[in-house]
Amino acid sequence: MVAAAFLWNGNGLSIVLDSGTTYAEQFAQGSAGKAAQALAARERWRAIYIGGAQIGYLHESIRPQEQGRQKVVINENIVVMAISLARQTGGAVAPSATRSKVIVQTEETESGDILAFRYEVQNPPRLSTRKVGRIANNKMQIETTTRGKVTTSELPWDAAVKGPAQADRQLQQNPLKSQETRTITTFDPRAAAVDTIRYQAGDFENVLLLNGTEKRLLHVVATHSVAPTVVFHEFMDEAGESWKTTIPSSDMVVHMVPKATALKAFAEAEEP
């Protein structure tokens, strides 16, 4: 879910990709067989808008890997934003020269158990913050580096808590229905804490997409226990895929787009 990538302050439309297929078509093809294909490698690019102007992008990827004899899933979100020194130009937010990058990565088993995580904030000219953790002896062992100082901590771990990649797959394998309420408990690497996500589905609505067309999507309101005051409005299709997310309190909208579109305003930025 895109919302999970924007707890510190988030999806799009049927865009034609380089292959000539739409994202929805590509997703459906890659998801054939549901659980059998749920661990296939995939990536998504999204453009982030505030006040109608693009100020960032999000790159999401899921990569199954072999680590020794174990199969793991690498779930990674990279958010690049250019608003730390944002200025007003003609009533719209213009990207600043100073950019922030937030990297969130988890290593999970095929069944969604957390093995390790990495959370890093690169916010020049300020010093970066880095937090890494790993499960060992039924505890989450965490090392945090801030302003060059390293601290360690340890938290008891509940093996029933799943990782973000597994939470996303749950919604795709068992999509929400109109008027349904559902909660999913997952791990949030940013807060290094358990996050209970509550989804309240309303009805299907005609939703305006970035290309000016409308699509009938399920309006879902999502809240997170780690940031209860921030409300996300997700618009999902019948397959459980969120196409658009709005955050009214931040005047933020995130659209799913091709890679080239996501990076267009950040031509000199390094790609993930």
196-206 residue pLDDT tens = 999 999 999 99
Q: How confident is the model at residue 231 (pLDDT cuts 50, 70, 90)?
A: very high
* pLDDT-derived band at 29, boundaries 50, 70, 90: very low
Task: Assess whether pLDDT exceeds 90 at residue 125.
Answer: no
Q: Per this entry, what is the length of the chain?
A: 272
Q: Residue 55: which residues within 8 A CB-CB, separation 6 or more?
A: 48, 49, 81, 82, 83, 86, 93, 95
β-strand pairing of 129-136 with 139-146 = antiparallel
Tell me the mean pLDDT in the region 240-253. Answer: 90
Instruction: Count CA atoms within 13 Å of residue 84 on its CB side.
Output: 14
State the Cα–Cα distance between residues 161 and 213, nearest whole angstrom.
Answer: 39
pLDDT value at 84 more than 80: no
**C-alpha angle with apex 63: 57 to 64, nearest 5 degrees?**
165
- Going by pLDDT thresholds of 50, 70 and 90, the confidence category of residue 147 is confident
Kindly give, in sequence order, each residue whose CB lies less than 8 Å from that of residue 215, ignoring residues fewer than 6 positions away: 13, 14, 206, 207, 209, 237, 243
d(CA 262, CA 272): 12
CB 117 within 8 A of CB 136: no
Q: Does the structure show a pLDDT above 90 at 140?
A: yes
Q: What pLDDT is recorded for position 108? A: 93
d(CA 226, CA 245): 19
What's the rounded mean pLDDT across residues 75-97? 65
- 2-11, 185-194, 197-206: which range is least confident on average? 2-11
Beta carbons within 10 angstroms of residue 269's beta carbon = 14
